[in-house]
Amino acid sequence: MTLETVSENRSFGGIQGVYRHKSQATGTDMTFAVYLPPDTQAGKVPVLWYLSGLTCTHENAMTKAGAQQFAAEAGIALVFPDTSPRGEGVADDDAYDLGQGAGFYVNATQNPWSPHFRMWDYIVEELPALVCDNFPVDAQAQGITGHSMGGHGALTIAMTHPDRYRSVSAFAPIANPTESDWGRKQLGAYLGEDRAAWQAHDSTLLMAERGYPGEVLIDQGASDQFLDLLKPETLAQAMMARRQPGWFRMQPGYDHSYFFVNSFIGDHVFWHAERLA
């Protein structure tokens, strides 16, 4: 698979790169970013996937989260994928929370979304294979995290594939999309009206059904303006009912912005690095 280098910049002794390729999963060109810490000069390193939220691209977390300095210190690579297929001929919607920029990390089965919106296959299968073939990262030491819609994706993917992701965390995840306006609209559009098909993409339901074999770390801003849409209490309750090992931290005064993510990204990078070592 041909990989085009868009840019590469020195960062904390490592390299922050942006790359483009033709995706078989989405049938479009896809852009993603990879940060390689200085430790890659000596060999392969663990890799942490960061899934972004609504309206974001690969660039948001790459430039706003401030994760590179911690990844350099911890000796862990970072991958920042895009949030949806894009380009001419790709279905879209006037609303910010549907269509391009809002793939919700599912494989769409409904028109007009199904030809290109196959973000589950892209994130779980295609892009990891591409990254592991082209960069010095350890395929056996992968963790996953994300923010908002990306937190939803990280949790659902990790609980579905616990053998592949040795660590999982999330920032302000959309925790119960089957019961939220951030979820019912999108899952209905992408997957149809059979609510049984939605359940595999709801972290609260997955937590109640199967949980995660390791520890889980979740940070949620207590002053998040979208709490009613995120429904963090449902996931916290499911974790307690299951006695899931981990931490669910309500951070007083923090909202939903990247100022929140930036404040705690170091905790998450080091937390993953410890479990992937």
Task: Identify the active-site residue in 201, 256, 268, 272.
Answer: 256
pLDDT single digits (tens) 118-151? 999 999 999 999 999 999 999 999 999 999 999 9
Looking at the chain, which runs of residues are DSSP E strands? 3-11, 14-22, 29-36, 45-51, 77-80, 137-146, 167-171, 216-221, 246-251
Residue tagged active-site, from 23, 224, 268, 272: 224
Question: pLDDT at position 113, please?
Answer: 98
Q: What is the mean pLDDT of residues 166-191?
A: 98
Residue 224 bears catalytic tag: yes
Per-residue pLDDT of 27-42, as tens digits, reads 999 999 999 999 999 9
Q: What is the chain's mean pLDDT, rounded? A: 98
What's the whole-number mean pLDDT along residues 230-254?
98
Q: In one letter, which amino acid is 128? A: P
Active-site annotation holds for 148: yes
Residue 1 has pLDDT above 80, yes or no: no
Fold entry, domain 3-276: Rossmann fold (3.40.50)
Judge whether residue 257 has pLDDT over 90.
Answer: yes
3-state SS assignment for residue 204: helix
Q: What is the three-class DSSP state of 197?
A: helix
Binning pLDDT at 50, 70 and 90, where does residue 159 land?
very high
Q: What is the pLDDT of residue 116?
A: 98
Is residue 268 flagged as an active site residue?
A: no
Per-residue pLDDT, 69 = 98
Does pTM top 0.95 for this prediction? yes
CA distance 18 to 91: 25
Domain ranges within the chain, ordered by starting residue: 3-276
Q: Which of 148, 169, 180, 203 is catalytic?
A: 148
